[in-house]
């Protein structure tokens, strides 16, 4: 058994902005199933503090970046949750990362340095008589923990693993914050955590953590290239021997389709069309649940949308993001009776889209792992994805070989262009009338392993390889 402290900035069901929260919420239970004790450390945002008894303090941290702080104990399902209760840093309304003006909170460097240092203190001293052997750190918000652990003299006995969920976010701070963050001056070099004259919390983790992981094998390879490495590809090439890719999973208990066989989907498709105002149709219903950004490739869909509609398809989209992209999809819905658009996010509608859709579109330019296509597989909603990151690793394309072998679970396209997306749409429409083949692909998709079993075993093996002899 391994004792692991998972350190994250968000976690379902308490607080979520992206896929990191799903991973942080599901992994402790999956590891417990293998006999490991994974506990979670989260910042004390209002939603998190509301789920924890405020009298359940287990560690007094004293003054932390201008205010009192302590660690509270709660529960994350059946596992232990620790909450960094520092109201001056985390008790704020709205987004956990952004202020009312839509930009980063100006003290984000201090907020997440506090999270990292608290993790390092627990690693060095233990908590409630429990001693973590591994600090599993998620993204830049926990990236400074290996540096602080080293400063506390515990790096020789407590191992650190940094998981990169999205390298595009790096936790940058001006060099003038060096003293305030309590970081060593000798680490502010190109071989340390200096990044073009600034402090990079993510780079600190990449350089100082014992092990590195990311959320798919393909993304692990992509990160070492200039195209995908976001300026950190050199660091990752230097540390490639320490970098591994482990796919995310989804909680199968939470994501269970309301039908057992492909033909059970039809009534949910009819209900979805009725709810979102689409007319009845014999063509495929494509669905999108996404942030509307260029990273997600939704501009390509705007270009290809006339082809989708003219071929007899329909589109139901749920998402928000770039204002121009929101307007473009709204305009498309006005022009085409077969397009329905909801701007925003609605968890109940998202589930109905996945249950009722025939094809789920994920045309991302880069995608570390992706969860949407996993939900699609689970529900027999065939993914149409770009050939990148975790999308490449989880979808078996309906190529001649895949169809001949009877293993295809969806559609892929490459390069990531509107023209290639149009060709993939043509493949969808060519197969749609072949009901026996289509339903066979749905059965393949629904049987594809998308849970945490294998990934949890992979993490357990990685933890074992990183553990240090006392």
**Beta carbons within 8 Å of 468's beta carbon, 6+ residues apart:** 133, 156, 157, 158, 159
Q: Residue written as tokens 């952004």?
A: 98
CB 351 within 8 A of CB 344: no
Query: Which is it for strands 134-138 and 159-164: parallel, antiparallel or unpaired?
Result: parallel
Q: Please state, in angstroms and as integers, the Cα–Cα distance from residue 75 to each residue in 31, 48, 49, 254, 390, following that order.
A: 15, 11, 11, 18, 31
Give me the phi and psi of 92, to 5 degrees please.
-135, 150
Q: Please state, in angstroms and as integers, the Cα–Cα distance from residue 244 to each residue in 39, 132, 220, following that order.
A: 22, 22, 6
Q: How many residues does the chain have?
A: 470
- Helix count and strand count (H, E) for the chain: 18, 18
- Say if residue 352 carries a ligand binding annotation: no
Please list the residues that pair with 199 across neighbouring strands: 173, 194
Beta-carbon-side half-sphere exposure of residue 17 (alpha carbons within 13 Å): 11
CB 204 within 8 A of CB 187: yes
Distance CA 367, CA 2 (A): 30
Give me the phi and psi of 24, to 5 degrees please.
-60, -30
Distance CA 176, CA 130 (A): 36
Beta-carbon-side half-sphere exposure of residue 7 (alpha carbons within 13 Å): 31
Q: Residue written as tokens 């004293």?
A: 62
Residues contributing to the annotated binding site: 16
Binding-site annotation, residues for ADP-alpha-D-glucose: 16
């Amino acid at each position: 058994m391994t004792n692991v402290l998972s350190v994250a900035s968000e976690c379902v069901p308490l607080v979520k902005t992206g896929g990191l929260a799903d991973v942080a919420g599901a992994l402790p239970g999956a590891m417990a199933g293998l006999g490991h004790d994974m506990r979670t450390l989260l910042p004390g945002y209002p939603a998190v503090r509301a789920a924890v008894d405020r009298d359940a303090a287990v560690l007094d941290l004293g003054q932390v970046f201008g205010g009192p702080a302590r660690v509270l104990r709660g529960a994350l399902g059946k596992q232990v949750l620790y909450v960094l209760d520092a109201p001056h840093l985390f008790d704020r309304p709205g987004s956990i990362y952004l202020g009312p003006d839509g930009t980063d909170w100006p003290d984000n460097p201090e907020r997440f340095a506090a999270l990292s240092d608290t993790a390092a203190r627990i690693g060095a001293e233990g908590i409630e008589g429990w001693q973590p052997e591994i600090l599993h750190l998620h993204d830049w918000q926990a990236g400074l923990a290996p540096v602080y652990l080293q400063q506390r003299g515990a790096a020789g006995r407590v191992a650190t693993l940094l998981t990169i969920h999205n390298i595009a976010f790096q936790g940058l701070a001006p060099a003038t914050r060096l003293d305030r963050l309590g970081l060593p001056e000798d680490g502010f070099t190109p071989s340390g955590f200096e990044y073009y004259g600034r402090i990079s919390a993510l780079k600190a983790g990449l350089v100082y953590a014992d092990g590195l992981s990311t959320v798919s094998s393909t993304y692990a390879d992509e990160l070492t290239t200039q195209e995908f490495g976001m300026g950190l590809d050199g660091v990752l090439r230097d540390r490639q021997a320490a970098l591994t890719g482990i796919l995310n999973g989804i909680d199968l208990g939470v994501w269970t389709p309301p039908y057992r066989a492909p033909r059970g989907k039809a009534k949910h498709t009819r209900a979805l069309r009725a709810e979102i105002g689409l007319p009845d149709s014999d063509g495929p219903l494509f669905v999108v649940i996404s942030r509307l950004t260029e990273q997600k490739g939704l501009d390509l869909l705007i270009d290809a949308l006339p082809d989708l509609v003219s071929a007899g398809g329909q589109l139901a989209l749920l998402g928000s993001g770039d204002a121009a992209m929101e307007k473009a999809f709204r305009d498309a819905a006005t022009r085409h009776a077969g397009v329905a658009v909801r701007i925003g996010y609605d968890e109940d509608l998202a589930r109905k889209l996945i249950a009722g859709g025939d094809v789920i579109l994920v045309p991302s330019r880069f995608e570390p792992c992706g969860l949407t296509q996993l939900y699609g597989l689970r529900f027999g909603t065939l993914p149409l994805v770009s050939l990148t990151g975790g999308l490449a690793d989880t979808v078996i394309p309906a190529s001649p070989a895949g169809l001949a072998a009877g293993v295809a679970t969806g559609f892929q396209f490459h390069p990531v262009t509107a023209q290639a997306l149009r060709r993939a749409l043509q493949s969808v429409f060519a197969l749609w009338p072949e009901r026996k083949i289509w339903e066979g692909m749905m059965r393949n998709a629904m049987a594809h392993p998308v849970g945490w079993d294998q990934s949890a075993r992979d993490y357990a093996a990685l933890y074992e390889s990183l553990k240090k002899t006392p």
